[in-house]
Chains A and B, each alone.
Chain A
């Protein structure tokens, strides 16, 4: 059995940050890079399925589209227990959108012929929530999005999954492998890697490929893109906000005043 887990190294903003002069993005000096939180849950789900499966020869492969900055995220997945990693990068992928990334991932995943592809629901920086679903589309795989519960029967090659609907209703679905699931946070408790595992992760296979290695042409990827970001801007400040400063007691006293003013008004 093989599970492929596509992950993303995401950018987190410092508490205070500045935009680039041309408004095209955030000044990288104010960014910190980390593995996307949702992907820690999909990775954990994959590792648990592998650990619960009978016999040997099961494999969890982690794959990402990203520059060298993304290697840290792959190493953390390897440290936690992924068997090998694949990083795909090409300068032409700079600024690639969801569909372009999904197309690249599709080429890589297709070569792996996995039983399951487990994605995170979304990435915390771009928040499209579409990469996994688009990947399923390119691969022509059945997919279930926003999975909150997962039970994989390796012998039957069937996944029983749960989704949460309005009013807390739980929808239970059964899907036959190969399939793609997008995993929601909270489905499990992601493990952490010991110091030894972190050191040993560097010994595990980490392959770097470019588009040519995957048999893709730059143009084909470019044509897959559906949109391109043109500007990033801070929200317009609204009106009517009053900042309350001072000691907790002073702030509380002011809140009481405001409430009383509104109630009497």
Chain B
């Protein structure tokens, strides 16, 4: 089907300096955990988006020198010929699909701790990083400034050699050029500090030198946070923000606009529970609206809706639709619009699991919606193409339509299994997503900063996408409201049975801290609740509530937000150093803490519950159990362990003779029923099994390609020489 003419504007080419962008879909720089050291992952992840129609794809931030080393977080690097070689794999792949390749040249200053290179970062003033712990830069004198600017130039020349079309001088997220521009970092009194022109000088000179070096061949871009969101102590859009764009407009071919910094970059990569689509518009939208630039502008806002994209261009906010997360969630987003099937777009849910892995430092990126993200090369998975299964004549019963079951049934359907029945006990598919997506709200009022507690409603997109796909698959039947007994499963007539029955919260306080139930904990009582009971509102909640948060992710704090928003006096206890630790990684923590503080929620960390009595919770300090504290309560919420609902699986597995006599050849357990986990991992688990359902042992994941040096494959002496040769530039 042809695309709707109302989307034609998204497919109009646009000139960026010497390069032509074929359409308005642009993958802005974002991390994936590949860098220059996993060239296969880098090339194939970006290449997948090029295949899916994105007009340009960029690297993640790409270090220009060992002085800018973000280890253990994974950046790209273009330090030497070896990096040129490895990144050229990416540009080649993008060019095969007609996409432009962009590289984001990065020098982090004090934000780069240099834990691998052991180098000393340089910065405009000697102020410790507000992002890293205890990292001070060396003050840059004028010689240092020239040295670092030459690093940009050398890197740009290498980037051109690697085949890049768009070369960034990256200053957003408060990295070095922005550190010069912002008085929050820059306390200099020479011609690189003080007045606007002085503070802008480093960035402008760097742009000029890079442009002189490669500007005839490559488009020059700059990523710029138009507002630091710190008020008058730093860059504000209405002041130096638009002024800087005007000041350097002659030196760039493309502006890539953002807001905020790296210390709280959730203001840019806004999680859906606090930020709606196109949330940066009040800031980034001012640049073109105020006629401050004559150059094309790209910007982001987790935009997944093609109508919003059209509105963004038509309203003059941006010329080009930038995307990081929406392009991870659906690498084929442009193609789906072009082919007139926008209903097939796998919309980003804004959970920021992708970001969490970068924040953790090291692991490859993951995506809740797109289980193939990051697996393009190492497992050979394509998000839209599915090989017919070798055993597709088999019929499959999937029990439980939660995240794992939905995904598994969908992929099995796409792999053309003869018949797939997805049977769900509840009245609708979705499993835990159906009640989890009702959380995340508090009292509906504006938060203390930008955004508000919008809740996890967009997580329901997990269900919506799969519902639409399942409806389209003729070989998949979905049956709801049907709880199958072990006997019914045995007699169902499926050759392959997959159990995806989820999990439940412990009702006795069993937890990861003490590995034991909590004396007195009993969620069968009317004044003790598990989180799902809070959502179902089956029990009355009293005024004084203690929430025991043992999980370290969103559940306990979301319950606290809801109850505090409804007017209860809520106290959060956690055995950990902070509540909801994982939400630091998903960038949800800062806004969450603002909301909890506004709601008056009391937080006690390093605090574990000893026992629970009617009206009283006895707690202790985990470092000094003798230090006891008591909390008077009316209601206790036990956000403690989750336990697999695997009884069906265990009963089926126990009777091997019966499985055989009933013709059941394969029995598998996936998702929370196998082991409780995050939704992103449940979906992966379901996807993985379906992708490998025709392997010799589907329950055992096939090995994946590990991009690493194989010792002695070439003579170790030759290899050392090869490494030295490619590293010459950096060693010189």
Contacts and interface: CB of A to CB of B under 8 A. Distances in A.
A246 B307 contact: yes
A247 B308 contact: yes
A198 B492 CA distance: 10
Interface stretch (A19-27, A52-60, A187-195): A187-195
A97 to B, nearest CB: 30
A192 B477 contact: yes
Interface string A168-182: 000000000000000
Contact of B492 (A189, A195, A200): A195
A220 interface: no
B6 interface: yes
B323 interface: no
A196 B493 contact: yes
Contact of B491 (A189, A194, A199, A249): A194
Contacts of A223: none
Contacts of A199: 493
B307 A245 contact: yes
A186 to B, nearest CB: 14
A101 to B, nearest CB: 27
A197 interface: yes
A241 to B, nearest CB: 16
B479 interface: yes
A246 B311 CA distance: 7
A200 B477 CA distance: 17
A198 B419 contact: yes
Interface residues of A, number: 15
Contacts of B6: 245
A16 interface: yes
A163 to B, nearest CB: 26
Contacts of B477: 192
A196 B493 CA distance: 4
Name the residue in B307, B477, B494 with the highest tally of chain A Cβ atoms < 10 Å from its Cβ: B307
Nearest to A200: B493
B552 to A, nearest CB: 32
A247 B305 contact: yes
A196 B492 contact: yes
Contact of A195 (B278, B305, B307, B397): B397
Interface string B267-303: 0000000001110000000000000000000000000
B1 A16 contact: yes
Contacts of B416: none
Q: For this complex, into which size category does the number of interface residues on chain B fall?
A: 20 to 34
B444 to A, nearest CB: 15
B674 interface: no
A250 interface: yes
Given A245-B307, A246-B311, A196 B491 contact: yes
A195 B490 CA distance: 11
Contacts of B1: 16
A16 B310 CA distance: 23
B493 A195 contact: yes
A195 B276 contact: no
Contacts of B308: 246-247, 250
A247 B310 CA distance: 10
Contacts of B481: 189
B482 interface: yes
Nearest to B311: A246
B493 A247 contact: no
Interface string A234-249: 0000000000011101
Contacts of A16: 1
B307 A247 contact: yes
A74 to B, nearest CB: 17
A194 B308 CA distance: 44
Contacts of A194: 421, 488, 491-493
A250 B311 contact: yes
Contacts of A200: 493
Interface in B343-391: none
Contact of B278 (A189, A196, A198, A247): A247
B682 interface: no
A202 B310 CA distance: 52
A83 B165 CA distance: 70
A189 to B, nearest CB: 7
Given A195-B494, A196-B493, A247 B311 contact: yes
Given A194-B493, A250-B311, 11 more contacts: A189-B481, A192-B482, A194-B421, A194-B488, A195-B421, A196-B493, A246-B311, A247-B276, A249-B276, A249-B277, A250-B308
23 contacts: A189-B481, A192-B482, A194-B488, A194-B491, A194-B492, A194-B493, A195-B395, A195-B419, A195-B493, A195-B494, A196-B492, A196-B493, A197-B493, A198-B493, A199-B493, A245-B6, A246-B307, A247-B278, A247-B305, A247-B307, A247-B311, A249-B276, A250-B308
